Every structure is written in structure tokens, then in C-alpha cells.
Amino acid sequence: MAYPFQITSLNQYHIDYKKSIEQPEEFWATIADTFYWRKKWDNVLEWNFNEPKIEWFKGAKLNITENCIDRHLEKLGNKPAIIWEPNNPEEKVRVVTYNRLHKRVCQVAQMLKNNGVKKGDRVCIYMGMIPELTYAILGCARIGAIHSVIFGGFSAQSIADRLEDANAEFIITCDGAYRGAKDIPLKAVIDDALIGNKTVKKVIVYNRTRTPVSMVKGRDIWWEDEMEFAEHQIENEGNVHFEAEEMDAEDPLFILYTSGSTGKPKGVVHTCAGYMVWTTYTFVNVFQYNPGDIHFCTADIGWITGHSYIVYGPLSAGATSVMFEGIPTFPTAGRFWDIVDKHKVNILYTAPTAIRSLMSFGTEPIHNKNLSSLKILGTVGEPINEEAWHWYNENIGLQKCPIVDTWWQTETGGCLISNLAGITPSKPSWATLPLPGVQPVLVDETGNEITEKDETGLIKGNLCIKAPWPGILRTTWSDHERCRVNYFATYPSLYFTGDGALKDGDGNYRITGRVDDVLNISGHRIGTAEVENAINMHSGVVESAVVGYPHNIKGQGIYAFVIYNGTDGDENLRKQDISATVSKIIGAIAKPDKIQFVTGLPKTRSGKIMRRILRKIAEGETSNLGDTTTLLDPGVVDEIVQSKL
Ligand code: WTA
């Protein structure tokens, strides 16, 4: 057993699960004991879901970077922490050892300090998938600044909104980022986001693509110059490294914005100690990581999966984490398999949408690739359909690798429901059993626990969690009430996930998808209200309604019903204009897949749009639309059905 808290048998899973529920404080204290603390906690857990107030390891002092880096240096200093695979396979791979990571993170912390960043300040990070992104994140954590990473696909307007909400004074970015055949001008997007911004004092720019950028005097500075200066400074001051800031267990570690059912993304806040313990514990147990294994999570660090399972979880466990700059289909659809072959990857963690997209190229891209190093496969982000599960199992895992289907959310910090690779049974398309510390419950509309099985022998309901685990969100930035209303008020004393689920007689869970107005497009969360707001910004649009529909590759596609009164005639051009507007306001990831122009929307007499009906129409249903008699104008439904795309 490589880690003291590693679950190594089904029996131990059951014992640990039971203990985690009956004696949570003892259970988590034993696990937390294996980390490095400047000072241990006074209390393991204090909580109530009504405020909500959730405090783990209160009174403890730590710095997460000492756990992710310093504590490994003696034994693992020369071992790779990060193996970086560039977008262009001809460019050189970079291997970052723990020693090197330590040095760079200290330099970043010093650089931030030199530029006025203090504990608690918000630093927005908008970079491509390069090692410097990891240095930036950990540099913030080392100095105690709160990082807020923004995915490179978000627009200037989205960044501006997040900067304002977080009141961020500092930005770390790149001139550009490579993504497949594209070169994305990140700094130019930041420049647009900063028009009218009054809080940002410094923008640190790393030179990746040598894209020409405008550098504003006094505000914009080059990473390379600042890092060199910081390096000499640490040496000249005779320090071995940059001393990590001592943080309280419950000090915020980062903010990550995510979509909900309202128009405005929420800044989910995770704190230092609980998040650290949860990501490390789940990383080791779900993936059954053993020292020396090469772990490859294909997510972008702009999303929670990258935060937890490229950066914090693996590094805290002293693992080797592969970081990939590119996309699965560039330069060929064999890119993932080349990387697995080249770096002898043992654990591959990706999204169902990537699997489905690669499936569509057939098995030719896999031929001649040696995938024998693979031991464990994982998926995350959306329900995996059985066809994709079997394809992954047969062609990639060669039927010898357990597949972990990990269900979790930005708000949960790490996996909550998942099989443990090779330890607990898998079931295609089922996330299966809760991890120790996680108490799921399925409720009906009014919040009553459902215990009755339906005719198929399954329990079906809305998925809630009864008690806190260490990685649960603590608040939403700048608005605690919003956190309460969003997650803890739908059903009293329960955390509501927004997902629906099924449960079988063995206690396995199958996630069926969101039950709120949140879409899951290629594993990315997007609120329908956000997309509608963006569409409505277009001058010719009167009103719109957005719903999801099944999409072969993306899982869900975006279907927009739009009332338009502009005078421009060409329908295709109008559609392009609307898409361009959405790209500008949110980012290209939120562009509608289908736009249907309509003269009216189905509304109740009180003016509420009946999305249920629109969803059915988008899904291709033409009859059986349910009761339409309560509609203000039932005729509008026929018209929409007839002009359906
Ligand atoms: C969905 C991603 C089914 C779910 C880590 C959840 C899943 C949302 C799975 C969170 C899974 C994630 N099976 N559905 N294994 N994993 N989801 O915040 O709807 O980007 O609520 O976090 O993705 O998305 P988020």
C-alpha cells in the first residue's frame, strides 16, 4: 500500500465507507494526519447547511504548495512532476522535476510579491496549457493570493465580468496560445476585457507564440524579465527558496466561475485544507495511483477537472502528471494514443465527448500505437453512453483496464460518486458507489427522500447530498446568499446538485443529467439563461429561448428559438450575426448549434416560457408535447413544430 489512506479491497471500501459516515471526524483526522501542517486543527468539522457554514480542520495552518512540492523534494526531487506535451508534436517535450517546479513556483511567488500582490488578493489567470500556467497557479497559492483561472475559450466580456466580480487587481496571461491549427491571441482578449476596467494594476505576460501584443506602460510587464529578476533576488538575499505564506485551513485557495441556472456565472470558492485533503484522497483512491505511475488527465486547467486532477491532487500525491497543450485531433486523430505510447501513460482520464469524437475516426488512428502501458481509464464531465464506454474499453483499454466513471462538479472539488479502479465493480454508464464521506440521497420535487422503486426496479429522483465532505464549496465569491439559494435552499438541509439520478438495488448511482436549466455541451457547463442573454444582445432579436438537444459528439447541443424583427433579409447571415454576438459576449463554446426563427414562444398566462415543450420539439418530438391548453397561445406550438429545422 503506497498511501496510508489507500483503499485496496472491496471489503476495505465498505469498512472505510461505514466509518466515514459513523465517525467522520476520526475518519478524516486520520487521513489529514498524513499531510504536512504548520499547525494541526482544533476542530475537524463544524457545519450547518442552512446558512451554509462549513469548516474543515479549523485552526490548522498550512500552505498547500508545501504539500504539493516541498514535502516531496527529499525523495522525489529529481522525479518528474509534470511532463508537458506541446501542441505541435515536433516541438520539444518539457519535463519538470519536483526540484524545478519548486524553483519556478518560488520565483513566481517572488515576482508576484515584487509587483504588490499580497495574501488574499485575487489574481486572474488567462493562459494556455503550458507549464507556466501551473507555476502561476502554485505561485499564487504560495503567496496566499486567490487565483481565478479563466478558460482560454471565454470572451473579453466574460473576463471583464469575472474581473469585476472578483475585484481582481492582477492578471497573468500569455501573448497567445496554440490550440490545434489555431493561434489564439490571449493578450489581445485581455486588452479588450480591460477597456473601462479600473481595478487591474498589473498584467504579467508570458511569451508563448510571439504574437505581437500591445504593452501598456506601467501596467503590462513581461513574465521573462520579472522571473529573471526574481531568481536573482532569491539568490542575492541568500534564501534557499521563497518562504510559503502560512494559511488558515479555511482561507480561500481559489475561485472558479461556473454557470448556473441564472444569467450570471458564480464564483465557486474552495479553501485550502479541505480541498487539498479531498483532491489527494480521491486522486489516490479513484485512480488507484501508485508511485511512479504516469497520470494523464486530458482536461484543460481552465475547468475544475484540470485544477483537481492535473495540478493539486496529483502533485500533492507526489505523482507525475502529463499536461497536454493541444487538442485530440491535431495533427491527427491519433494524438492521444501517440502521447500514451510516447510517455508510457498508465492512467488516462478524459471526457465522453472526446471519446465519441475519436470513435468517429474508427480504429485506424490506434493501429501501430502501443497502448500496453495503460492500466486504468477514466471519464468525467457528462454521462457516458454505453457505446462509447464499450469502444473505450475494447479499443483503448484492450478489455484489461478498469474504467472509472467519475461523477462530480466544480462545486464538489473532486469526485463524489465513482467506482475505485479495480477495487469496486464498474457498471457501464453508471458512476456506481459514493466515495467515503459522501452521503447521496434521491428526493422528489418537495425534498422527500424517495425509497420506492419504479417499475424497472430503480429509484429515480433529484440527487442531493446530506452532509459535507472536505472538498465541498464554501461560498460563492462576493455573494454568500447566492450560494445558499443556489445549493442549499431548494431542499432544506441538503446540498442540491442540479442533477437527476437513478439508483439500483446494489446502491449504484447512474447520473441522468441536469434537471435545471444548465446545459452540458462537450462536458462544459453553460446556462441557458446566459446564452439567451447573449442572443438578446443582438439588435434584431426581440426574445429567445434556449434548450439542449441530444448531439452525437457533444452530448448536448444548443438549440435557440429566436423571435427576430430586424429588417435584414438573409436568414443565414442573421444566424451568423447571432452566433458572432454569442461568441463576443460569452465565447465560441456557447454558440448555438441550431437557430430557429419563430414568431412567438409558448408561454403560460403568467408569461413564463414553457421550456418543457421547446425541449421536446428540439429533441424531434412532434406530437406528445404534453398539455398545451394552459398556454397563452397554443397555436404558436404548431407553428414552431412545422418550421422545425
Ligand atoms: C455532469 C465537471 C454524468 C453533471 C467535473 C454535473 C457528469 C456537471 C459526470 C458538472 C459523470 C460530471 N456522469 N454526469 N461522470 N461528471 N457530470 O462543474 O451534470 O464542469 O452536474 O464539473 O457535469 O460539471 P462541472
Residues 6+ apart with CB under 8 A from 235: none
SS (H, E, C) 143-168: HCCEEEECCCCECHHHHHHHHHHHCC
What atom in ligand 1 is closest to the CA of residue 525? 20
Gap between the Cα atoms of 484 and 488, Å rounded: 5
Q: Which residue has the higher pLDDT, 344 or 621?
A: 344
Q: Looking at ligand 1, which residue's alpha carbon is closest to its atom 3?
A: 383
End-to-end CA gap in the chain: 57
Gap between the Cα atoms of 617 and 505, Å rounded: 34
Gap between the Cα atoms of 601 and 599, Å rounded: 7
Gap between the Cα atoms of 312 and 62, Å rounded: 14
Residues 6+ apart with CB under 8 A from 444: 450, 461, 462
Task: Please give the distance, rounded to the nearest whole angstrom, from the Cα atom of residue 200 to the centre of ligand 1.
Answer: 33
Identify the pLDDT of residue 625: 81
Phi, psi values for residue 362, rounded to 5°: 75, -165
**Section 297-322 average pLDDT:** 98
Task: Please give the distance, rounded to the nearest whole angstrom, from the Cα atom of residue 396 to the centre of ligand 1.
Answer: 22
Task: Please give the distance, rounded to the nearest whole angstrom, from the Cα atom of residue 301 to the centre of ligand 1.
Answer: 16
Q: Looking at ligand 1, which residue's alpha carbon is closest to its atom 8?
A: 409
- Tell me whether residue 635 is exposed, middle or buried, using C-beta atoms within 10 angstroms of its C-beta: 0 to 12, 13 to 18, 19 or more: exposed
Q: Looking at ligand 1, which residue's alpha carbon is closest to its atom 13?
A: 383
* Domain boundaries defined on the chain: 10-65+269-514, 66-245, 519-642
Q: Looking at ligand 1, which residue's alpha carbon is closest to its atom 15?
A: 407
Find residue 440's DSSP bridge partners: 465
Instruction: Please name the amino acid found at residue 170.
Output: F
Gap between the Cα atoms of 318 and 569, Å rounded: 61
* 263: confidence class by pLDDT, cuts 50, 70, 90: confident
Task: Please give the distance, rounded to the nearest whole angstrom, from the Cα atom of residue 450 to the centre of ligand 1.
Answer: 22
Gap between the Cα atoms of 153 and 166, Å rounded: 19
Q: Looking at ligand 1, which residue's alpha carbon is closest to its atom 7?
A: 382
Closest CA to 461 of 516, 435, 499: 499
Residues 6+ apart with CB under 8 A from 367: none
Whether residue 140 contacts residue 169, with contact meaning beta carbons closer than 8 Å, is answered with: no
Whether residue 382 contacts residue 352, with contact meaning beta carbons closer than 8 Å, is answered with: yes
Instruction: State percent of the chain over pLDDT 90.
Output: 91
Checking if the pLDDT of 645 tops 80, the result is no
Show contacts of 383-390: CB within 8 Å, 24+ apart.
383/352, 383/429, 383/510, 383/511, 383/512, 383/513, 383/555, 384/352, 384/355, 384/428, 384/429, 385/352, 385/356, 385/429, 386/428, 386/429, 387/359, 388/352, 388/355, 388/356, 388/359, 389/428, 389/429, 390/428
Residue 445: CB atoms within 10 A of its CB come to 10
Whether residue 128 contacts residue 174, with contact meaning beta carbons closer than 8 Å, is answered with: yes
Residues 6+ apart with CB under 8 A from 12: none
Task: Please give the distance, rounded to the nearest whole angstrom, from the Cα atom of residue 618 to the centre of ligand 1.
Answer: 22
* 366: confidence class by pLDDT, cuts 50, 70, 90: very high
Closest CA to 509 of 424, 442, 456: 442
Task: Please give the distance, rounded to the nearest whole angstrom, from the Cα atom of residue 487 to the centre of ligand 1.
Answer: 15
**Section 616-632 average pLDDT:** 84
Q: Is 66-245 in the same CATH topology as 10-65+269-514?
A: yes
Task: Please give the distance, rounded to the nearest whole angstrom, from the Cα atom of residue 625 to the centre of ligand 1.
Answer: 28
**Section 171-181 average pLDDT:** 98
To test the pocket of ligand 1, the residue of 515, 520, 522 to mutate (highest count of ligand atoms within 8 Å of its CB) is 520
Phi, psi values for residue 131, rounded to 5°: -55, -30
| Tens digit of each residue's pLDDT (9 = 90 or more) over 31-90 | 999 999 999 999 999 999 999 999 999 999 999 999 999 999 999 999 999 999 999 999
Task: Please give the distance, rounded to the nearest whole angstrom, from the Cα atom of residue 472 to the centre of ligand 1.
Answer: 15
Residue 432, phi-psi category: left (phi > 0), alpha (psi -120 to 50), beta (remainder): left
Q: Looking at ligand 1, which residue's alpha carbon is closest to its atom 14?
A: 382
To test the pocket of ligand 1, the residue of 151, 408, 430, 517 to mutate (highest count of ligand atoms within 8 Å of its CB) is 408
Cα 569 to its chain centre, rounded Å, is 41
Residue 419, phi-psi category: left (phi > 0), alpha (psi -120 to 50), beta (remainder): beta
Element spanning 514, H or E:
strand 509-514
Gap between the Cα atoms of 168 and 199, Å rounded: 7
Element spanning 404, H or E:
strand 403-406
- Collapsed DSSP state (helix, strand, coil) of residue 382: coil
What atom in ligand 1 is closest to the CA of residue 417? 15
Output the CA torsion 584→588→592→595 (10° steps).
50
To test the pocket of ligand 1, the residue of 287, 356, 382, 412 to mutate (highest count of ligand atoms within 8 Å of its CB) is 382
Find residue 441's DSSP bridge partners: 464
Tell me which of 168-177, 352-361, 569-578 is least confident.
569-578
* CATH among 3.30.300.30, 3.40.47.10, 2.40.30.10, 3.20.20.70 for 519-642: 3.30.300.30
CA diameter of the chain: 79
- Tell me whether residue 454 is exposed, middle or buried, using C-beta atoms within 10 angstroms of its C-beta: 0 to 12, 13 to 18, 19 or more: exposed
**CATH topology assigned to domain 10-65+269-514:** Rossmann fold (3.40.50)
Identify the pLDDT of residue 1: 59
Q: Looking at ligand 1, which residue's alpha carbon is closest to its atom 22?
A: 409
Task: Please give the distance, rounded to the nearest whole angstrom, from the Cα atom of residue 404 to the centre of ligand 1.
Answer: 14
Task: Please give the distance, rounded to the nearest whole angstrom, from the Cα atom of residue 82 to the centre of ligand 1.
Answer: 26
Q: Looking at ligand 1, which residue's alpha carbon is closest to its atom 5?
A: 409
Task: Please give the distance, rounded to the nearest whole angstrom, from the Cα atom of residue 547 to the centre of ligand 1.
Answer: 18
CA distances from 306 to 316, 410, 428 (A): 14, 11, 24
| Tens digit of each residue's pLDDT (9 = 90 or more) over 491-511 | 999 999 999 999 999 999 999
Q: Which residues line ligand 1 (CB under 6 A)?
A: 258, 303-305, 380-383, 405-410, 431, 497-499, 511, 513-514, 520, 525
Q: Looking at ligand 1, which residue's alpha carbon is closest to its atom 12?
A: 381
Task: Please give the distance, rounded to the nearest whole angstrom, from the Cα atom of residue 587 to the centre of ligand 1.
Answer: 20
Residues 6+ apart with CB under 8 A from 47: 53, 54, 55, 467, 468
**Section 121-126 average pLDDT:** 98
What does DSSP say about strands 440-443 and 524-527: parallel, antiparallel, or unpaired? unpaired
Residue 642: CB atoms within 10 A of its CB come to 8
Domain 66-245 sits in CATH 3.40.50.980: yes
